[in-house]
A = this chain, B = another copy of it.
């Protein structure tokens, strides 16, 4: 079971870097004025078009009652709007308002800009290396389990 020390070291530092990266991103996201869960839900709503509550809850890995309240919050801030489904009176479809869409897209821009500026601090060779490492990790992190 025990693995090489180098592997452990890389693993440990990878963990730490991931934490620090996301901490930075969270700070940037504060400018949207939205909490993490609301911002994340809004993102699904913006990119997945009109969505049902159940789909939204599943996408956010949250139970339906939790999503009910998140959407109520977004609705109260005028970022989101609901319409009944024409075929099935039980379902309620959620879509972003123009304001919701703008706030989300602006936040997304800030986030990518922040990360890009970090990467710009690297010389081109290192940047290329980060790119390839990200590709490797994508394969490995996405594939199995959840």
Interface of A toward B, CB cutoff 8 Å: 1, 3, 6-8, 10-25, 27, 111-113, 115-116, 118-122, 126-127, 129-138, 140-142, 145-146
Contact = CB atoms under 8 A, between A and B. Distances in A.
A144 B118 CA distance: 10
A17 B118 contact: no
Taking the full assembly, how many copies of this chain does it contain? 2
Contact of A11 (B7, B13, B112): B112
B122 A17 contact: no
Nearest to A61: B23
A44 to B, nearest CB: 14
Given A15-B111, A18-B22, A118 B141 contact: yes
A115 B18 CA distance: 12
B118 A21 contact: no
Nearest to A13: B134
A15 B25 contact: yes
